């Protein structure tokens, strides 16, 4: 009798495809031996953080680069190594990783850092989820930092999404202004907008001295190497020979994006598994690419109101039916009026449609440019979709209110 005979036959207990799927999770932090082609950047981050090993203040650092170029990975990996190294000398380094896309107000950022760093027994304070004003959260943060750490490293991912950059000034000046006395703070800001520092307020610009570092996209060979080092996520012999090169080539098409490469590989495995197949093939990879792009786009527009989806749908129709890629607000508005009527939606004003287009620009769903030069605002902007229209359409039609458009089409 096998060990599984007494298990409930309703469930599966073996996984014929994956040996360890967690290796392909985006939040998984791979060991240094699995990191490819980033030695120079790792050294630069290590140089900035080096003083922390001795309990001194690290240099602040801004990292720029397109999505999936390893900015978060290298920041977290080097910070982890700093923590381990500092422990040898009984120095306590802690780090808080904040996604400013999700938490963009000063109060929520300060609260989250305090909650991560704080140990109530050591600091004598608690950090409640709600009920305190920003000033009180700062006070508790300073207490937590002083009593629980020697150095706190704050990693602010998507730093360009910050509602107000005052938090940068306060964190970077905390020692100088004697908010904290026994401890120090280092900031790593991550962004895919290289012009982000130009948008900082003058107060922050002058107070936050920092190093800057740019991560370039990977080439297809580097992506192959990154994926090869995660091959053990699958059982031996499951991946056909062409799977990794094809995945890398597809992910390198726009820019060499390791996040996309890993997502496609994982989705290919999941698709094979769902179809009860024990080998992952090129066909699975092609289907996985489409699924990955649709999921990503879905993430971007998930919280958008249905009116915004109707506007995007209008831009998609225009893109599909024309050799042009960019359309002025006015043309999109005319198309939108027709779509809104078909959907039985109230028709918004042109001004409101323009505002929604601007918001979608901010979410990186579309790109808006003024006629002439520069990022676009106002009535004279032109807008274009940043994703393949067939994928956008598919995702938009997942919304039950918009699905009727498919039947009509």
Please check if 126 is assigned to a binding site. no
Question: Distance (Å, rounded) from C-alpha 286 to C-alpha 264?
Answer: 9
| Footprint (CB under 6 A) of ligand ATP, residues 22-41 | 26, 30, 34-38
Please check if 67 is assigned to a binding site. no
3-state secondary structure 152-206: EEEEEECHHHCCCCHHHHHHHHCCCCCCCCCCEEEEEEEECCCCHHHHCCHHHHH
Torsion angles phi and psi, residue 65, rounded to 5:
160, 160
The residue nearest ligand ATP at its CB is 70
116's tokens: 């991560």
- 390 counts as binding ligand ATP under rule CB under 6 A: no
Nearer to ligand ATP, 239 or 357 (CB): 239
| Footprint (CB under 6 A) of ligand ATP, residues 133-192 | 192
Q: Would you say 268 and 280 are in contact if contact means Cβ atoms under 8 Å apart?
A: yes
Nearer to ligand ATP, 65 or 376 (CB): 65
Provide, rounded to whole angstroms, the least separation between the CB of residue 71 and ligand ATP. Answer: 4
Q: Would you say 168 and 208 are in contact if contact means Cβ atoms under 8 Å apart?
A: yes
Q: What is the β-pairing status of strands 327-328 and 381-385?
A: antiparallel
Please check if 69 is assigned to a binding site. yes
Nearer to ligand ATP, 139 or 296 (CB): 296
Please check if 72 is assigned to a binding site. yes
Angle (CA) 360-365-367 rounded to 5° is 80
Q: Would you say 79 and 204 are in contact if contact means Cβ atoms under 8 Å apart?
A: no
Nearer to ligand ATP, 226 or 268 (CB): 226
Nearer to ligand ATP, 72 or 360 (CB): 72
| Footprint (CB under 6 A) of ligand ATP, residues 248-287 | 258-259, 262
Please check if 291 is assigned to a binding site. no
| Footprint (CB under 6 A) of ligand ATP, residues 45-104 | 65, 67-73
Torsion angles phi and psi, residue 286, rounded to 5:
-65, -45
Q: Would you say 319 and 385 are in contact if contact means Cβ atoms under 8 Å apart?
A: yes
Binding site for ATP, by residue number, is 69-73, 218, 230
Q: Which residues bind ligand ATP (CB under 6 A)?
A: 26, 30, 34-38, 65, 67-73, 192, 226, 258-259, 262
């Amino acid at each position: 009798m096998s060990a599984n005979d007494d298990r409930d036959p309703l469930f599966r207990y073996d996984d014929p495809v994956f040996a360890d799927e967690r290796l392909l999770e985006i939040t998984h932090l791979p060991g240094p031996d699995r990191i490819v082609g980033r030695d120079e950047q790792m050294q630069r981050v290590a140089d900035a953080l080096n003083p922390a090993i001795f309990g001194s203040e690290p240099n602040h650092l801004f990292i720029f680069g397109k999505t999936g170029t390893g900015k978060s990975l290298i920041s977290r990996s080097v910070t982890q190594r700093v923590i381990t190294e500092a422990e040898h000398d009984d120095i306590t380094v802690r780090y808080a990783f904040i996604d400013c896309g999700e938490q963009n107000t000063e109060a929520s950022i300060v609260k989250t850092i305090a909650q991560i760093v704080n140990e109530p027994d050591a600091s004598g304070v608690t950090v409640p989820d709600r009920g305190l004003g920003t000033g009180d959260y700062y006070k508790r943060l300073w207490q937590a930092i002083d009593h629980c750490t020697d150095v706190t490293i704050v990693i602010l991912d998507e730093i360009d999404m910050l509602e107000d950059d005052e938090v940068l000034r306060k964190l970077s000046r905390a020692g100088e202004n004697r908010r904290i006395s026994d401890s120090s703070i280092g900031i790593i800001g991550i962004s895919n907008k290289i012009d982000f520092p130009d948008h900082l307020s003058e107060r922050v610009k002058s107070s936050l001295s920092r190093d800057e570092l740019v991560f370039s996209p990977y080439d297809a060979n580097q992506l192959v190497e990154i994926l090869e080092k995660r091959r053990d996520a699958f059982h031996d012999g499951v991946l056909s020979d062409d799977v990794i090169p094809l995945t890398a080539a597809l992910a390198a098409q726009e820019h060499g994006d390791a996040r996309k490469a890993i997502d496609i590989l994982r989705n290919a495995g999941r698709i094979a598994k769902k179809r009860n197949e024990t080998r992952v093939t090129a066909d699975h990879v092609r289907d996985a690419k489409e699924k990955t792009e649709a999921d990503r786009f879905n993430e971007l527009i998930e919280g958008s109101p249905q009116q915004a989806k109707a506007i995007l749908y209008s831009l998609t129709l225009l893109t599909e039916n024309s050799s042009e890629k960019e359309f002025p607000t006015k043309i999109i508005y005319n198309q939108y009026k027709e779509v809104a009527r078909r959907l039985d939606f109230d028709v918004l004003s042109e001004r409101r449609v323009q505002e929604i287009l601007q918001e979608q620009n901010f979410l990186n769903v579309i790109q808006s440019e003024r006629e002439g030069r520069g990022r676009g605002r106002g009535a004279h902007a032109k807008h274009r979709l940043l994703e393949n229209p067939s994928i956008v359409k598919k995702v938009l039609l997942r919304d039950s209110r918009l699905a009727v458009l498919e039947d009509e089409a």
